[in-house]
């Protein structure tokens, strides 16, 4: 473990980034802008997510450092323009956390998760009264994650299904409507109905305590592992994937599935 305190370590990072961005610093770092840094910020964040999913604390430690590097770079760019300092960002989040937790830092009495969510939403709404209740959810979020956040915001003020069963009934209804669109060969309606199904599935996951984005990610990984098994087996047999035939592919798929369960 580092002998430095968190403030000391963060201050050192800021100093290093300031030097990299200085006249005698690194040409690459000096050339960066918030727009060019954006892909790295997203990439490093997802790498931290992957470390969490793997349960790898050492990797998470490293990836969080990479995320903080991007934060330091962005704050230094803002400082150079005279827009704000990193201290302003930290002060902002500290004040917001205290303000939104009156039951912790104040005298408010809040009981139960639903009351807590409602109070949180009311406080947020009072901070920016001219904003719609669903505003603030980034459009750039992955579609499933954005759907979940929008649904959570709506649910926080009571606009929600009664439970998982009612959501599932809605999904079944949307599936029937999709089938009608398919039978009519109406591609526009089919896209709309498929979107409704996906939105319903996200909400079903929310009621079940399952994150749809994470669930789909895990299923995609599972599919990829099984498909890799098929490729490996066919490669050993000297058979091309495109020439194996659906029956052989399904046999190997079941083999891969069984091996995955044993593992």
Quick: pLDDT tens for 120-142.
778 877 877 667 778 888 888 88
- Domains contained in the chain, number: 4
Nearest to 96 by CA among 137, 127, 117, 138: 127
43 and 80 in a single domain? The answer is yes
For residue 200, name the pLDDT band (cuts at 50, 70, 90): very high
**Residue 149 is part of a domain; what is its CATH number?**
1.10.287.1080
pLDDT, residue 112, reads 81
123 and 43 in a single domain? The answer is no
**Spatial distance between the Cα atoms of 130 and 187, rounded to a whole number of angstroms:** 38
- In this prediction, residues 185-206 reach a mean pLDDT of 96
244 and 187 in a single domain? The answer is no
105 and 87 in a single domain? The answer is no
Domain residues for the domain of 236 are 214-262
54 and 118 in a single domain? The answer is no
- 50 domain-assigned: yes
Contact indicator for 103, 122 with CB cutoff of 8 Å: no
Q: What percent of the chain has pLDDT over 90?
A: 76
- 134 domain-assigned: no
**Span 213-231, pLDDT tens digits:** 989 988 999 999 999 999 9
59 and 72 in a single domain? The answer is yes
The label of the residue with tokens 């997802």 reads 46
Contact indicator for 70, 40 with CB cutoff of 8 Å: yes
Question: Taking all residues of the chain, what is their mean pLDDT, rounded to a whole number?
Answer: 92
Distance from chain centroid for Cα 55: 17
- In this prediction, residues 244-259 reach a mean pLDDT of 94
- 170 domain-assigned: yes
Range in 2-6, 29-33, 201-205 with the lowest mean pLDDT:
2-6
pLDDT, residue 110, reads 84
Whether pLDDT at 232 is above 70: yes
pLDDT, residue 130, reads 64
Whether pLDDT at 152 is above 70: yes
Whether pLDDT at 75 is above 90: yes
Whether pLDDT at 1 is above 70: no
- 254 domain-assigned: yes
Evaluated on CA atoms 132, 133, 139, 144, the torsion sign reads negative
- 158 domain-assigned: yes
Torsion of CA 71, 84, 142, 53, to 10 degrees: 30
Nearest to 18 by CA among 99, 78, 102, 98: 78
Whether pLDDT at 2 is above 80: no
**Spatial distance between the Cα atoms of 110 and 112, rounded to a whole number of angstroms:** 7
Whether pLDDT at 207 is above 90: yes
**pTM for this model (two decimals):** 0.66
pLDDT, residue 114, reads 78
194 and 221 in a single domain? The answer is no
- 1 domain-assigned: no
pLDDT, residue 228, reads 95
- 135 domain-assigned: no
182 and 148 in a single domain? The answer is yes
90 and 12 in a single domain? The answer is yes
10 and 87 in a single domain? The answer is yes
- In this prediction, residues 104-130 reach a mean pLDDT of 80
113 and 93 in a single domain? The answer is no
Asked which of 210, 226, 247 is the last residue of a domain, the reply is: 210
pLDDT, residue 177, reads 97
75 and 10 in a single domain? The answer is yes
- 247 domain-assigned: yes
**Span 5-61, pLDDT tens digits:** 999 999 999 999 999 999 999 999 999 999 999 989 989 998 999 899 889 999 999
């Amino acid at each position: 473990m580092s002998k430095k305190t968190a403030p000391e370590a963060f201050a050192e990072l800021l100093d290093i980034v300031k030097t990299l961005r200085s006249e005698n610093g690194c040409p690459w770092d000096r050339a960066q802008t918030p727009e060019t840094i954006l892909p790295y910020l997203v990439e490093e964040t997802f790498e931290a997510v992957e470390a969490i999913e793997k349960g790898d604390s050492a990797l998470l430690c490293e990836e969080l450092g990479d995320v903080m590097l991007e934060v330091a770079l962005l704050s230094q760019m803002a400082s150079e323009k005279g827009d704000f300092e990193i201290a302003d960002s930290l002060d902002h989040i500290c004040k917001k956390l205290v303000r939104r937790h009156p039951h912790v830092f104040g005298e408010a009495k809040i009981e139960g998760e639903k009351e807590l969510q409602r109070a949180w939403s009311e406080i947020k709404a009072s901070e920016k009264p001219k904003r719609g209740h669903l505003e603030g959810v980034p459009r750039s979020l992955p579609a499933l994650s954005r759907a979940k956040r929008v649904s959570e915001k709506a649910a926080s003020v009571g606009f929600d299904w009664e439970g998982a069963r009612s959501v599932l009934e809605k999904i079944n209804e949307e599936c029937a409507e999709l089938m009608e669109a398919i039978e009519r060969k109406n591609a526009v309606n089919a896209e709309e109905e498929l979107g409704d199904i996906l939105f319903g599935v996200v909400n079903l996951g929310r009621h079940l305590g399952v994150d749809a984005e994470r669930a789909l990610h895990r299923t995609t990984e599972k599919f990829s592992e099984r498909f890799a098994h098929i490729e490996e087996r066919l490669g050993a047999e000297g058979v091309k994937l495109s020439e194996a035939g659906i029956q052989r592919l399904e046999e190997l798929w079941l083999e891969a599935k069984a091996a995955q369960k044993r593992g």
